[in-house]
Every structure is written in structure tokens, then in C-alpha cells.
Structure 1
Amino acid sequence: MSAIRSEENEPIQVLFTMHDNMNLLDFAGPLEVLTHAQHDFNNPDTKAFDITLAGPQESVLTAQGVTLNAQISYKEAHKRLKEFDVLVVPGGKEKCMEMVKKEAEPLPLVTDFAELQTADPARERTLLAIDTASLFLANQGLLQGLAATTHPDFYIKLEHECQNAAANDTGERTDCMEERYVVNNARFDLGENLEENPYVFKKNRKGSNARKGSLARRESNLSKEYLVRRKSMKLGGMRVITSGGAVSGIDASLYLVSALVSHESAQEVARIMQYDWVKGVVVDAIDV
């Protein structure tokens, strides 16, 4: 594995959205994964992610009756959105369709994050929607021309939201997939043999657990040719990840660690959590 440059060992800035009646595990699963991740597990000072929690008010009540406190308001989150590399959006079955109809937060925040990427494709940003949060993305038209998944009970609703968004905007269709998680606009050092890369999947093609090389995170390492290609991609090349049910959010978060830090770091987090990482699907990939 190639070494990650020292200037890239700074924490990756992550913003979690919160809302009333969100599913606790949608939030806690990815939070657990990202807080464990380190650039170097032999150095406790190399935490990989710095996390900020945004909510509509000071505290939110989850669907499970647990109260969680936000660190910043949505108003502040909108003002500071340029600071963040990753936006994580938990779902919530009880109120998700009501939120979609009202286009309530975090839907506007999600759209603003996508617009940032479109305006500045040189910056590498990731949008991770857990569980039914994929419906938020679908409603805002962000899944057009991409592939996505959601909780199995909401596959039909996801298809309807994607169809409505495409009809309203004469946009491209969305490939709704029954997968653990689905990744769009991936960026990896693919290596010479794609069959040996565990993250380049076409539909149900399976790969090995080997990975060649680490991913350089900062835009300073990108070639002009690559930037031109990324600008032409959907959403300015923003990595869009949707997951299935709540536990699938853990799998998707481990993938995120593997993409932004290293495969070894993701494996170590899974070991610490005593969790059996189930791989999902990457529908496209381009090398740098």
C-alpha cells in the first residue's frame, strides 16, 4: 500500500444532519465507524474524521425515544457548508415521507451541498444517505442518472420519487437497486486488474478483498485532465452513496473509510466493532 501524504493526515470534515424521528441506528452506526477510524492506528493522534452535528433545534428526539443534542443549527450549517468534505444524512421511517412532501430540513441542506460540488468540482465531496434518506435525495432530483438503494420496504417509494423528479425536470432515470449500499462517482487507483479491486462492481460482480494503493484525498493531487472529466460527471463528480436499512449504514460507512483513508483502516474499524463488513455495489469508477 502506498503511503498517504502527511498533509492528508488531517481530519476529514464531516457534517451529520439530525431531525426529529430519525432512526437512532442510522445515526449511531456511521458515527461509531467514523469516530473509530484513524490514518495510523499506531498513533492515537491521527483520527481520520472530525464530526459536527447539525439539527433544526438544540435537541432532537429519535424514533426510539432517545434525545440527542445538536452542536450547530441548520442556519449555521448552511453558512459553514463549504468547510465540510462529507455530509451524512440519516433516515427515519415514521416521518420520512412527510418530510419529503414538505421539503423540510435536511433536504435544502443536501441540495446546497450538491450545488457546492457542481460549482467547485475540484473539491472532493461525499454525500452519504442512510436508509430512507435516499428519498430526500430523490425528491431533490439528485439521483437522476445515478443508481441508488434504500430500505427494502421503501423500494417502490424510491422509484416513484425518482420517476417524479425525472418527469418534473425532464431528467434521466435512476437505477434503483436492491443492494446493501450503492456508490456513484467513485475515485480509486484501479490497478491493472479490475477483477482484483473490491470496489469496482458492475451490478452483482464480486471482487476480492485486496486493494492496491490508497486514495489521495486532496484536490491538489488531481490532474487537469481528471478535473475536466469530473466536471462533466453528474453533480460535478460528487461521490453519492445510498444504503439499505439501518445496519447497512455501517457497511456504507466502512466503505467510506476505505475510500477516504485506507482499506486497512476500514478493516481495523470492523475488527474493533466485531462487525462482519458486507460489501455493496460501485456502479462506476474512474482512475486519477
Structure 2
Amino acid sequence: MSAIADENGSPETIKVLFVLYPDFEALDVVGPLEVLSRAQHNTKDTATKAFECSFVGNAAAMKSAQGATLKADMDYEDATEDIEEYDVLVVPGGLTNEIIQSKAEPLALIKKWVDVQEKNPAKERTILAVSTGSLLLAEQGLLEGLAATTHPDYYTRLETLCQNASTRDLSERTDVMEERYVVNNARFDLGENPDENPYIVRKRPDGVAAGHARRKSIARKGSNAWKESRRRESIARRASMPLGGMRVITTGGVTAGLDASLYLVASLVSHESAEEVARVMQYTWIKGVTVDAIDV
């Protein structure tokens, strides 16, 4: 897995936009920021920082639920105009019910992110929703036909929002899973031998996954022969897909945002870079699950 590269093959700086809104969860932002800001294309060269992070907010200074204030680099109007410049959008949790009820930002920006991707599907973009940030994605219909997770206290709320969106849009259901993080669009991640992939959750000797899914993905069901047939089909279909697409990542509670951010470093930069960030932070990276989109 290699980093995003420019036309000359050199690693590009990956542009990340964090959305801020009143009473967001501080660690949902600061955790991923810590991981991404430490990531380097070359782990031996501090000048090769992989990510450039910016913040958008309703005001110049945005206060978190914990009382910490972060400075916004731009307002939502400017962010909407420049949205095509970014590779990753990070949506933290917080008082999401108030956002949904009032139809406030970042809901419109999330919709714009999807619209831009549909206009240029060849570009690879990622949206990372930490904790209850996934509820905002569900409200905008972004999780339809995918698998997702959220903070354990909000599984039922996420299921309700996803069901409502599915009914509203006459679309496919969402599989809500009890995992540290769930990644959709595995085009770049699974490889030809998923069992050896470092981004997929490891299984215990008894065959039970390290996380217990609320609803197990199809990839975890059926006989071994059936699963092998589906695996070969998945590989063949992924091989025929053009590069690009929207990667959608949702996470459990606040610390799960660290795990998903390390996954993001691994998938966009390198596994070596992610392991080095985890080492420096003295953090044990707990893997989530990668879901093949055609198997959801």
C-alpha cells in the first residue's frame, strides 16, 4: 500500500479537514489530529510529514463539550467552496441530536463532500466519523448499503437513523456492527490474501472475531467453500474497478478514533508509518474490520 502520489510519483501531502460544531467531543478531534500530525512518508525524515490538517467551524473559535477551544481556519462557506482540495474529512461526535434537529452544519458540508465525489469518482476520498459523528453520516444517507458502527450507547439510535434514511431514499439497509472501527470500500486494502492483511481484525483460535458484531457481515457467514468462492469473486471484481472512490470509516467511542486514524495512516501512507506513530505514542493499535463493499 503506497501513499497518494503526484504525477511524478512523489508522495503528496494529504489534506485533511476537521469539522467543528458547538460542543464537539475534544478527543474525537485531538486524538486523530495527534496521529495524523505525527505520520511521515519517510519515518526517518521529520520533514516528510504526510498530512496537512485544517479546521472549519461556525465561528473563529469553537468550544468543545469539555471546555477546550480550538481555532477554526475557515468558516463553512469557505470550506464548501474549497472542498475539492481535501482528501479526508473528519467528523467528530458531540451533541449530534441538536445538529440533526436544527439541520445545522456540518450536515450540508457532508452532503457537499458526497456531491463532489460523485462528480469526480476517480479521486480517492475518505470520510472518517468518530463516535457519534456517524449519526450525522446516517442522517445524510451516506451509510446506506454500507456497514457502520458508533459509540456503544448509540447503536439503537444509529440503527433508527439508518432505517429512516433507507425508507426515505428507498435504498439499501445499513449493517450496524459492534466494532472498534468499520471501513467500507476495500478496493485498496484487502489484497489477494485477506487472511494476511494487517488491517483486517484477527480471529481467535476458536474462530470468533476479536470484536462481536451486532450484525455479522456476509463475509463472516456461510461455509468455507462459499466464503472462498465469494473471496475470489470479490478479488476479480475489485481488480476490474478503476482506482478512486469514497472510503467511509466509522468508529466506536472516542479512543477508537485513534485506532481508525492509525488505519488511515497505514492505508494512505504506509503500514510502517502507522506502526511508528503507535510506537512513539506508546499506544496499542486495536484493529477494526474492513468490509468489502460488494459483500455488505
The TM-score bracket by the shorter chain reads 0.7 to 0.9
Q: Percent identity over the alignment?
A: 56
State the match for 1:226 in structure 2. Answer: 241
**Does 2:129 correspond to 1:129?**
yes
CA distance in 2, matches of 1:189, 1:114: 21
**Does 2:263 correspond to 1:255?**
yes
State the match for 2:143 in structure 1. Answer: 143
Cα RMSD of the aligned pairs, angstroms, is 2.3
Instruction: Say if 1:113 and 1:189 are closer, same or farther in 2 by CA, change over 3 A.
Output: closer
- In structure 1, runs of 5+ residues without a counterpart are 207-222, 231-235
Q: Give the counterpart letter for 1:131 in structure 2.
A: S
Equivalent position SS for 2:132: helix
Show structure 1 runs of 4+ deviating over 3 A.
Answer: 1-8, 189-192, 200-206
Instruction: Say if 1:36 and 1:244 are closer, same or farther in 2 by CA, change over 3 A.
Output: same
Instruction: Say if 1:74 and 1:276 are closer, same or farther in 2 by CA, change over 3 A.
Output: same
State the match for 1:117 in structure 2. Answer: 117
**Does 2:252 correspond to 1:244?**
yes
Q: Is the 8 A contact 2:4 2:14 kept in 1?
A: no
Q: Give the counterpart letter for 1:244 in structure 2.
A: G
Q: 1:202 Cα shift?
A: 10
Equivalent position SS for 2:114: helix
Instruction: Say if 1:18 and 1:79 are closer, same or farther in 2 by CA, change over 3 A.
Output: same
Q: 1:7 Cα shift?
A: 3.4
State the match for 2:289 in structure 1. Answer: 281
Instruction: Say if 1:190 and 1:150 are closer, same or farther in 2 by CA, change over 3 A.
Output: closer
Q: Once the two structures are superposed, what CA deviation does each residue of 1:45-75 show, in whole Å capped at 9, x if it has no partner?
A: 1100011111111011100011111011111
CA distance in 2, matches of 1:159, 1:99: 18
CA distance in 2, matches of 1:112, 1:2: 28
Q: Is the 8 A contact 1:55 1:70 kept in 2?
A: yes
Q: 1:170 Cα shift?
A: 0.9
Q: Once the two structures are superposed, what CA deviation does each residue of 1:59-105 show, in whole Å capped at 9, x if it has no partner?
A: 1110001111101111100000000000011111xx21111122211
CA distance in 1, matches of 2:147, 2:3: 32
Q: 1:192 Cα shift?
A: 4.0
- What is the TM-score when the length of structure 2 is the normalising length? 0.82
State the match for 1:209 in structure 2. Answer: none
CA distance in 2, matches of 1:192, 1:67: 45
Mapping 1:29-178, distance limit 5 Å? 29-92=31-94, 95-178=95-178
The total of aligned residue pairs comes to: 261
Q: 1:186 Cα shift?
A: 2.1
- In structure 2, runs of 5+ residues without a counterpart are 211-237
Q: Once the two structures are superposed, what CA deviation does each residue of 1:174-203 show, in whole Å capped at 9, x if it has no partner?
A: 000010000000233644432111234699
CA distance in 1, matches of 2:113, 2:261: 19
Q: Is the 8 A contact 1:58 1:71 kept in 2?
A: yes
Q: Once the two structures are superposed, what CA deviation does each residue of 1:163-182 show, in whole Å capped at 9, x if it has no partner?
A: 00011111110000010000
CA distance in 2, matches of 1:98, 1:246: 19
Q: Is the 8 A contact 2:262 2:278 kept in 1?
A: yes
Q: 1:134 Cα shift?
A: 0.2
- What is the TM-score when the length of structure 1 is the normalising length? 0.85
